[in-house]
Structure 1
Amino acid sequence: IQGTRDVLGPLDVVKPVVEELPGSRLEVIAGGDHSFKVRKMDGRDQQEVFASLVEIVAEFAQSLRTGGGT
């Protein structure tokens, strides 16, 4: 999971790494910084972003239980 405004892990650096990892996928949080916080000008509510993160992590955890791994 990566925010588009994360200065500690820019997408142009993270994407190629993820592409090389078998069975991996990249989930991008538009407007999110390193802590997935968004700005008001991004037009997204912070609670909406956190709810999205919960769904992404829950889907990943479920895939581990069912043997999907991604």
Structure 2
Amino acid sequence: MKYDIDSEFFELQNDRIFYQLITGLSYRDIANKYYLRNKNKFIYKVRKLMSKYNIQNRRQLVFWAFNKELVNEDKIINL
């Protein structure tokens, strides 16, 4: 998937975030790891994305990421 600056995925473009979601880290832990200054902004963006696409939980979020090809299946094996 190609990203542009105006895309809603721009700040979530790093697929490592979705891999961290798969491993079970909390949103705040992921924000601490990747967005040191804007933890609340990251959490807000994830929740807004979930709301927009009617995603109820993290399992659905990961499934959605697979369908949008934001996550590479081959990398999951190495987790």
Q: Tell me the TM-score normalized by structure 1.
A: 0.34
Q: RCO (CA 8 Å, sep 6+): is it higher in 1 or 2?
A: 2
Q: Tell me the TM-score normalized by structure 2.
A: 0.32
Structure showing the higher strand proportion among its residues: 1
Structure showing the higher helix proportion among its residues: 2
